[in-house]
Amino acid sequence: MTSFHYIDAEDDPPNSCNVDYERDCHAEEGCIVSAIANYTQRVQAPAELPAQELNYALRWIIHFMGDITQPLHNEAIAIGGNRINVTFDGAPWNLHAMWDTAIPNKIRHITGNVSLVDAEAWATDLTQDIASGEYKACAQTWLQGDDIADAKRSALAWARDTNLYVCSSVFPESVEAVSESDLGGSYFDQAAETVQLQIAKGGYRLANWLDQLALAAGQKNGTMYKRSAEVDLSGRSLLPAPRELSAAKLARRDFGGCDHPH
């Protein structure tokens, strides 16, 4: 299950950033792209799954939509940055955790544990930015091509979009450079713009995705849903062709997934 939280793009930042599904998704266990696709299929099969499994599927979609907007959840370098030690405002972090926690908390001036009130306040601000602020002009482009009937393609597009920020924002100079100075200054300033943008995208895409699922359920008018014969609710049919594990995939396996709880 830990492999569902990321896709390890074996690219070459900052020289080139890209996600190749056959290369980067774990062939045996899957990845965040296959997980979003599978749970989207499962939500649309209420006649075949217990209510609890449908509930869990919706919860995982919400969780993974957050994960896939974080650039280092779409990157293999140093196991998604988990093995890169950095300094942020004088404190030691690993790069992945810094992007997950330290940067967002500094943006919102949070010094302790994040509360529901903190999350709601940020969501309200970003909603305003989308409705009438800095994101109004581009928000609709974030949804182009998103289709629950082709969830794998949609999720892969999100992963590719997010992965581009590995080159432009995570490692704007080089992989080595992030460990050479405190990242709480100019690095934070440019990274904060990316984090806010990505969180806004994730929330907007999630709302659209859930709206599509709700609309599809409503159109069935309570009738028993019968999936196409080729849809495998186990998710196995979504996996890439079998192949030997690369050095990056072996390192991820030995590392044990992510360096933080889910």
Per-residue model confidence (pLDDT) at position 225: 45
Per-residue model confidence (pLDDT) at position 47: 87
**Looking at the predicted structure, is the pLDDT value of residue 222 above 80?**
no
Question: Does residue 148 sit within a domain?
Answer: yes
Of all residues in the chain, the percent with pLDDT exceeding 70 is: 93
Question: Does residue 224 sit within a domain?
Answer: yes
CB-based contacts of 26: which residues, under 8 Å, 6+ apart? 3, 8, 239, 249, 252
Residue-wise pLDDT tens digits, 28-56: 999 999 999 999 999 999 988 999 999 99
Residue-wise pLDDT tens digits, 62-111: 999 999 999 999 999 999 999 999 999 999 999 999 999 999 999 999 99
How confident is the model over 157-172, as a mean pLDDT?
98
Kindly tell me the sign of the dihedral angle through the C-alpha atoms of 14, 17, 22, 26: positive
Per-residue model confidence (pLDDT) at position 1: 63
Question: Does residue 260 sit within a domain?
Answer: no
**Looking at the predicted structure, is the pLDDT value of residue 205 above 60?**
yes
Interatomic CA distance for residues 254 and 188, integer angstroms:
31
Q: What is the mean pLDDT of the chain?
A: 93
Q: 45 versus 167: which is more confidently predicted?
A: 167
SS3 of 231, please? Answer: coil
**Looking at the predicted structure, is the pLDDT value of residue 221 above 70?**
no
Question: Does residue 130 sit within a domain?
Answer: yes
Please give the tally of structural domains in the chain.
1
Residue 72's domain spans which residues? Answer: 2-255
Range name among 11-20, 107-116, 233-242 with the lowest pLDDT average: 233-242
**How far are the Cα atoms of 77, 94, 123, 153, 192 from residue 189, in angstroms, in the given order?**
23, 18, 20, 32, 5
Interatomic CA distance for residues 29 and 256, integer angstroms:
13
- 10 Å Cβ neighbour count for 226? 10
Question: Does residue 261 sit within a domain?
Answer: no
Question: Does residue 81 sit within a domain?
Answer: yes
Question: Does residue 228 sit within a domain?
Answer: yes
Question: Does residue 56 sit within a domain?
Answer: yes
Residue 185: give its domain's CATH number: 1.10.575.10
Q: 260 versus 153: which is more confidently predicted?
A: 153
Of all residues in the chain, the percent with pLDDT exceeding 90 is: 83
Per-residue model confidence (pLDDT) at position 13: 98
